[in-house]
Amino acid sequence: MVVFALFIISKAGGLIYNREFHSGLSKLTSNDYLMLAGSFHGMHAITKQLCPAMPAPVNPSSTAAVLAPSPFSGRPSGLEVLESTHFRMQCFQTLTGTKFLLFTEPQQPNIDSMMRKIYELYADFVMKNPFYTVEMPIRCEKFDRGLDGFVKVRS
Amino acid sequence: MVLYSFYIFDRHTECIYSRRWTPRPVSSSSKAARPQSGSSITSSGDAPTGRKGMSHADDEKLIFGLVFSLRNMVQKLGGDDDTFLAYRTGEYKLHYYETPTRMKFVMLTDTKQNHLRAYLHQIWANLYVEFVVKNPLAPVEHPGGIGVANELFEKGLEAFITAVLPA
């Protein structure tokens, strides 16, 4: 089981965190990563637009399993999983619009629980850090170490 | 399987074939998910639910731009031999297949499918090449979709959708 990388994109479309765990994705310059994050932000918005059918009304039993139950249940969700031959990308958007992109192997199970754990680490070590300003690049050693420990234990 | 729409784009970014099936109400019945052919074909009539002021031509342009950018993103991250297969949102799933001549086949279905690359490849090889490319009366390029939506292709596509695609 391989986790390639984690990107965090702010609600304005800027890349605020970029971390590679395993080599497997191409090496890009940091400028390229910023551009990718920005264009992904736009593509994510388009995938919402293209929704061919209105989302099904959510039944209460299933909401418990959802990572962040949305108060806007009638709104389309946008891209969640992208598959390619070499990797699989899971995108999780928080209620405030921050996007977490997790790149894994194509046949990776349990990405949802992994995403939940990463969100938890983010909430604990980034958002509760008094020296962190929102929408700014994340430089929190504890977050880094938490991710490291978590990904290593899993692989 | 619920099929929402199907598009073919040529290498000049133009949509040369598109077909839509009106989505069924979600809670109608668990079986019979696939819309029946014939009556359900809509050329321009059905208003897309949940959006205002978007024509089907706008949709086609958006889809082309989207798959083009996603394909480039995938190639940038995964290397040149990586190909974009599909993406899923909470509401639908988009499947993608690109031929060596850069024609793009795009299909929108419900979210419960595996990626349909193999099926899109079959549509290209068994239907498009047979009935459009090998048609002596069809032009080499298809500006505005001329020569693509001929009777044999339409019939073949319909048969393919009812017989071959996973239920």
Q: What range defines the domain where residue A109 resides?
A: 3-50+69-154
Q: What is the CATH number of the domain that holds A143?
A: 3.30.450.70
User: Which token pair is A68?
Assistant: 């962040």
| Residues of A with Cβ-Cβ distance to B26 under 8 angstroms | 53, 56
Does residue B44 surpass a pLDDT of 70?
no
Q: Report, in angstroms and rounded to the nearest whole number, the Rg of chain B calculated over CA atoms.
A: 16
In a domain, A112, yes or no: yes
In Å, how far are A7, A66, A128 from A63, measured between CA atoms?
Answer: 26, 5, 26
DSSP assignment of A98-111:
-EEEEEE-TT---H
Position B165 confidence tier, pLDDT thresholds 50, 70, 90: confident
pLDDT digits (tens, 9 = 90+) for B100-159: 999 999 999 999 888 899 999 999 999 999 999 999 988 888 888 888 888 999 999 999
* CB-CB under 8 Å, B86 with A47: no
* Burial call B82-97: b when 16+ CB within 10 Å, e when fewer: bbbbbbbbbbbbbbbb
In a domain, A60, yes or no: no
Range with the poorest average pLDDT among A19-33, A49-63, B7-21: A49-63
Give me the helix-helix angle, A141-154 and A111-121, nearest 10°: 160
Range with the poorest average pLDDT among B7-11, B26-30, B135-139: B26-30
In a domain, A56, yes or no: no
User: When comparing pLDDT for A132 and B49, which is higher?
Assistant: A132
Please report the pLDDT score of residue B130 as a whole number.
Answer: 93
Q: Is B52 on the interface with A (CB under 8 A)?
A: no
pLDDT digits (tens, 9 = 90+) for A45-74: 999 988 886 655 555 444 445 565 556 666
Find the mean pLDDT for residues B32-56. 48
Q: Is the pTM higher than 0.90?
A: no
Q: Looking at the 3D structure of chain A, how many domains does it have?
A: 1
In a domain, A28, yes or no: yes
Percentage of chain B beyond pLDDT 70 is 80
> What was the ipTM of the complex prediction?
0.85
Residue A25 to residue A4: CA distance in whole angstroms: 7
Could you tell me the maximum CA-CA distance found in chain A, to the nearest angstrom?
Answer: 45
Amino acid in position B63: I
B80/chain A closest Cα distance in angstroms: 10
Please report the pLDDT score of residue B128 as a whole number.
Answer: 94
Find the mean pLDDT for residues A25-40. 93
The residue of chain B nearest to residue A73, with distances taken between CA atoms, is: B90
